[in-house]
Structure 1
Amino acid sequence: MTEARPAMWLVEDDDTRIYLLGTMHALPAGTEWDRGQIARAIADADELILELSPEQLAAAGGVFRNLAPRKAPLAIDKRLAGPALARYRQLEASGTGQPFGGDALDDWAVMVAMGQRVAQNARLLPANGVETRLTERFRDDRKPVGGLETAQEQLMLFETLDPATQRTLLARAAEGAGDAVQEVATLTDAWSRGDVAVLERMINEDVVAVPAARAAIITDRNRRWSAWVVRRMDRPGTLLVAVGAGHLVGADGLPALLEAQGLKVIRIQ
């Protein structure tokens, strides 16, 4: 068993409390993270809000299959070259060795397939992830579980990235594929310690060099979600909002954006 203490914040006024928990969507078996202040938040909250509701998460596979194919196949060796291509092939041959089918996929969808293989190689499973376990807890307690986005909205963030940005992201992912399992382990360890400085550095390394991707995948979403929190503060109640840990760190993370709008935000774990 591994005991984790991920970072969590509380936004509150006289009649509304909103916990903000940074999640890992997949974790190793035996990771215990739902103790301490998180256990209190789970017990206190009237409702759980995730990036995707359980219904939208169930629909995501079908949305992916609809959006991911290219209009015309393009061989991976026409998109990648040198070390990037070699590391892509090594990752494809690892684990189950099941081919990614990348020739038929958009660049962003190839990255999704690569990310799934890295998670498998690192023995990270969505079934052990924070969202899965939170959903089970809230449903067992007959408390509602909602979402901030639809599966279509979320995947269209990638589908609508311009081709040059998609190609840059794919090349960077392929170039780093050899170290990806260790990088994921380091990221998971930082999350477990609540080390937001390391989380911010590692997440920024992934996207800060690609401004269009950072805006679409992180910054713009954080602004929409912070506006949602501000509106929700007008109604009484207690909520637990659990989104990917990368959305809660740095100057454009949710806690910082909400504090800048005059809300009372404190880190409680």
Structure 2
Amino acid sequence: MPCLLLGCSTAEPGPQARPAMWLVEDADTRIYVLGTMHALPRGTDWDEGKVAGAIREADELVVELSPAELAAAGDMFQKLAPRNAPLAMEARLSGAALTRYRALEASGDGFGGERFDDWAVMVLMGQRVARNAELSSADGVETRLTAEFEAAGKPIGGLETAEAQLMLFETLDAATQRALLTRAAEESGDAVKEVGILTAAWACGDVAALDRVINEDVDAVPAARKAIITDRNRRWSAWVKTRMGRPGTVLMAVGAGHLVGSDGVPAILEAEGMKVSRVQ
């Protein structure tokens, strides 16, 4: 029975959050692969159990963006997101999608969406949903891990640059960007509830529920799935295979959506003959 049905709150994970984690290992190398939420409710307790042991054991932390790249992400967004010329949202969205977009916009300061590419408007909408759901990146998994590893004097690396990560969206064709924006707008009325369900599934380590919640939307736009999920998972899996050539213990912490399903990092590594086990 999915953990969601066993009493996990859909509003806050609470003290019993136990996110899914895998171990990839050979004779002299251990790589813990932890599924993260980039933003969480304040006070979420997730770093106990096996995760606490992985944090202690690891010689280094690897996340999607290193601290330096994460610090550069805001400026990079401002560089890449603007359109060459404004385009009214009424020219992009209509009907329920436009109505729900305007409702989300009205929940705080305006987005100024007419000035930005479709993908960037979708990012701004996602940030607003997270705020409305009372999630904060300051309480996200990567933020706390970075602080712990920095305090311990352990190195922190990144799998991508801020520019490369945003260019995944910037280089999507116009039709794909519009499809993503339209779907995000159409579903924005239930977005806070869906974020709560996602957070609860993550807290329970319910990978089947995570697979359903995370992949349902992106599966509807195959070109986006390939660029944003599948291709990145394959690159990160290749990084793991290369890193296994050096001794040591690594904690690799990436968005939980990249670790579930048949094209998730653990599944790819296992299919390629690596020793992979679910440890939490």
Band of TM-score, shorter chain: over 0.9
Query: In the alignment, what sits opposite 2:72?
Result: 59
Pair 1:137-2:148 in alignment: yes
- For 2:139 and 2:270, locate their aligned partners in 1 and report how far apart those are by CA, in whole Å: 32
Query: In the alignment, what sits opposite 1:89?
Result: 102
Question: Residue 216 of structure 1 aligns to a residue in which SS?
Answer: helix
Query: In the alignment, what sits opposite 2:190?
Result: 179
Structure 2 unpaired stretches of 5+:
1-13
After superposition, residues 204-219 of structure 1 pair within 5 angstroms as 204-219=215-230
CA RMSD after TM alignment = 0.5
Q: State the AA in 2 paired with 1:200.
A: D
Normalized against structure 2, the TM-score is what?
A: 0.95
Question: Residue 62 of structure 2 aligns to a residue in which SS?
Answer: strand
Which of the residues 93, 98, 121 maps onto 1:110? 121
Shift of 1:206: 1.4
Question: Residue 166 of structure 1 aligns to a residue in which SS?
Answer: helix
After superposition, residues 157-196 of structure 1 pair within 5 angstroms as 157-196=168-207
Q: Runs of at least 4 residues of structure 1 off by over 6 A?
A: none
Pair 1:238-2:249 in alignment: yes
Summarize deviations over 1:212-256 as a string: whole Å, max 9, x none: 100000000000000010010010000000000000000000000
Shift of 1:2: 3.2
Shift of 1:53: 0.2
Question: Residue 172 of structure 2 aligns to a residue in which SS?
Answer: coil
Which of the residues 16, 22, 26 maps onto 2:29? 16
Pair 1:3-2:16 in alignment: yes
Question: Residue 117 of structure 1 aligns to a residue in which SS?
Answer: helix
Query: In the alignment, what sits opposite 1:250?
Result: 261
After superposition, residues 214-225 of structure 1 pair within 5 angstroms as 214-225=225-236
Q: State the AA in 2 paired with 1:7.
A: A
Identity of aligned residues (%): 71
Structure 1 unpaired stretches of 5+:
none
Question: Residue 212 of structure 2 aligns to a residue in which SS?
Answer: helix
Summarize deviations over 1:13-42 as a string: whole Å, max 9, x none: 000000000000000011100000000000
Pair 1:150-2:161 in alignment: yes
Normalized against structure 1, the TM-score is what?
A: 0.99
Q: State the AA in 2 paired with 1:49.
A: V
Question: Residue 32 of structure 1 aligns to a residue in which SS?
Answer: coil
- For 1:180 and 1:148, locate their aligned partners in 2 and report how far apart those are by CA, in whole Å: 29
Shift of 1:204: 1.3
- For 2:217 and 2:41, locate their aligned partners in 1 and report how far apart those are by CA, in whole Å: 22
- For 1:132 and 1:227, locate their aligned partners in 2 and report how far apart those are by CA, in whole Å: 25
Shift of 1:3: 2.4
- For 2:268 and 2:175, locate their aligned partners in 1 and report how far apart those are by CA, in whole Å: 30
